[in-house]
Chain A
Amino acid sequence: MKADMEELYRSMARIRFCEEALANLWQRGIISGEMHLGVGEEAVAAGVVAHLEDGDALALDHRSTPPLVARGVDLVPLFLEMIGDERGLCRGWGGHMHLFSREHLACSSGIVGSSAPLGAGFALAAQYLAPGKVAVSFFGEGAANQGMLLESLNLAVAWRLPQVFVCKDNRWAITTRSRSVTGGDLLRRARSFGMPACRVDGTRVEAVWEAAGKAVRRARAGRSPSFLLASCPRREGHFLGDPLLRVYREPLKQTLEIGPPLVRSLLSRPLQAFALRPLYMGIIGKTLTVLGIEKFLLEPDPLCRAARLVPDDVRRRIDQEAREEVERAVSAAMERGKRHA
């Protein structure tokens, strides 16, 4: 079977426009709290979710909207939920980190790592109640150091669960370079549990689709769980208003805020540590530099990459349709929200 590029592109475009709409609502103060966007993860979400069918399950992390949009969750209740409306997907109780759609067997959690054991539970239930159905868990490379996630990898193999673990490797966990706190290599780590694992370029939707297809078929046939390590960029920082990105976006203001206390620390007691402090300052500087280089020089846009694989006129039509669909949903949600308030 060959990837239907038009459908994959449509799915990605819908995700992107939804994320952009969320960013706008958040910026205007209509969405409260944190807002972790999945901009950059469109290819992973679209490429994996394309293989799911009715009865398959999804366990998601704090970037849950892309897979939900790809899965076909109604956009109006989704946006209503994000703005905290009582007629939202979760009646205003869940919000962006805790979106649930029972109809789609899809849940999300803000507790890093928990999508793995919850997904294992979905997969376990499928063994009894719906043989041939599968569960997919999405999580980040930072979550791959969480105990319950590692236990789930073992559980999935021990119980031969129809589960696919999708690790979105954006190399960062908030302000931490994940490599600096991770032993060994995640692919080898997953394989050491006894399940097939493969690395895939998560900015290329056709590659994700191909790899996810194999993993999902393996799970459906009850042969084995699988692990997919998909690299992808973190284009909007950890969350909107990311303090590290702010250093680049408003350098003067940030220097004035962060600078003076840092200088005071440089000059503080105990003075025997004084000589080493420039080195410590350098460690912070290096993190910021790496982030800046990645952000402004290296980050590919998965949507642009997918766009190249679709004829121009088709792409334009899809863009327009997806944009209109999202705009309509946002207006409907805002309208209903207002009428209710």
Chain B
Amino acid sequence: MPKMTFAQAIDYALGEAMARDERVVTFGEDVTMLRRNLFVRFGPRRVRQAPISEAAFLAAGVGAAMAGLRPVVEIMLVDFIAVAFDALLNEASKVRAFSGGGWNVPLVVRAACGGGYGDGGQHEQCLWGLLSAMPGISVAVPSNPADAAGLMLSAIDSDDPVVYLEHKLLSDYWLDYLGGGSRGTVSFDVPREGAEGEVACPPSPVPIGKARLVAEGGDLSLFSLGVGVHRCVEAARSLAERGIASEVIDLRSACPLDTELVTASARKTGRVLVVDEDYIAYGLSGELAAVLAEAGIKADFARVCSEGAIPFSRKLEDEVLPNVRRITEAALRLCEGRP
């Protein structure tokens, strides 16, 4: 299996899907340059430059998908999706329901997400909770190259809308454009296993909604996705030194949730810590708590999430985003039965 960067894996899968199926087209701002390798391969009919008119071109993606295309619409950073919310909330998410199941929207919305490079709170959000709250929309969040390729394939194959989020700490080109800018004077805490790894060739689809057991353990369950998974693995290592065996689960999508794996793990360990880079309130972590409660599981529960707007200052930002120290401390509190 060849090694690829996270970013290469995504475009590799997208390119394979485009080669296989003429109906797969991609459009968004600056794609001629951002997707230049696909542009040179497929040309401007398949890789189409858009004006800064997200409300229009995202909703156009919905319409085009209804009419038979399989568009992969790029919203540069997920934060910008706010200006095009109608396309998702009231159009894409409603078509299947309103048509009585007779009409569907095979749309992929691709966007970069996440922080850790000091760009401020309008460019570093995750928003997968907010997006997952909309009925009828799946939200995939890969944490490594193999999943990045596999989830992209499944997203394109899906007959319903999928938001596909690409974390900037894992995608080298985004991190370089927005954080590094070719200076050697800044550094970032990039999880290596996430940024580069083996990818099957041809890529094999990863079903959306199937979580991955990253590490087994009996004392505590750590649920996360995206970069958070790698932070959990690191925290699990230092917890192991104190004799605590953590089970780490990569959810791989915020919606749908793999309730089977999640409940099985929680039932086994009796302690759950959710590590979520998205906002703490009304989101993924609360949803997981509800899933467990509804399954009748009595587990001790805690969460390490982003608690408010993400500050610009790197120092403040490091505290707001879930970091290994916060995860370890929360885990210890859970295991010691402290609040």
- Chain A positions within 8 Å of B, measured between CB atoms, are 26-29, 32-35, 81, 84-86, 90, 92-98, 109-113, 142-143, 145-148, 173-176, 178, 180-182, 239-241, 243-244, 246, 250, 258, 261-262, 264-266, 268-270, 273, 276-277, 279-281, 283-284, 287
Contact = CB atoms under 8 A, between A and B. Distances in A.
B122 A265 contact: no
A176 B29 contact: yes
B40 A148 contact: no
A46 B303 CA distance: 49
B120 A94 contact: yes
Given A29-B183, A29-B185, A277-B41, A176 B178 contact: no
Contacts of B121: 93, 98
A283 B83 CA distance: 30
B120 A175 contact: no
Contact of A145 (B51, B82, B316): B51
Given A92-B313, A111-B79, A180 B122 contact: no
A54 B250 CA distance: 54
A214 B218 CA distance: 74
A97 B120 contact: yes
Nearest to A85: B313
Nearest to A254: B182
B83 A94 contact: no
Given A33-B118, A33-B179, A148-B83, A143 B40 contact: no
9 contacts: A27-B185, A84-B314, A84-B316, A90-B312, A95-B119, A95-B312, A174-B29, A176-B51, A243-B176
B37 A84 contact: no
**Of residues B40, B179, B311, which shows the largest number of chain A Cβ atoms within 10 Å of its Cβ?**
B40
Contacts of B118: 32-33, 84, 95
B312 A98 contact: yes
Contact of B56 (A109, A147, A270): A147
Contacts of B19: 268-270
Contacts of B183: 26-27, 29, 241
A85 B41 CA distance: 46
Contacts of A146: 52-54, 83
Interface of B: 15, 19, 29-30, 32-34, 36-44, 49-56, 79-80, 82-83, 117-123, 176-183, 185-186, 309, 311-316
Given A29-B183, A147-B83, A269-B19, A244 B123 contact: no
A145 B44 CA distance: 20
A277 B311 CA distance: 44
Given A84-B315, A173-B52, A244 B33 contact: yes
A290 to B, nearest CB: 13
B30 A175 contact: yes
Given A32-B312, A33-B120, A110-B122, A241 B56 contact: no
Contacts of B312: 32-33, 81, 84, 90, 92-96, 98
Contacts of B30: 173-176
> What 10 pairs between A and B have smallest CB-CB spacing?
A241-B181, A32-B118, A95-B312, A29-B185, A84-B313, A92-B313, A33-B119, A181-B51, A145-B51, A175-B33
A241 B38 CA distance: 23
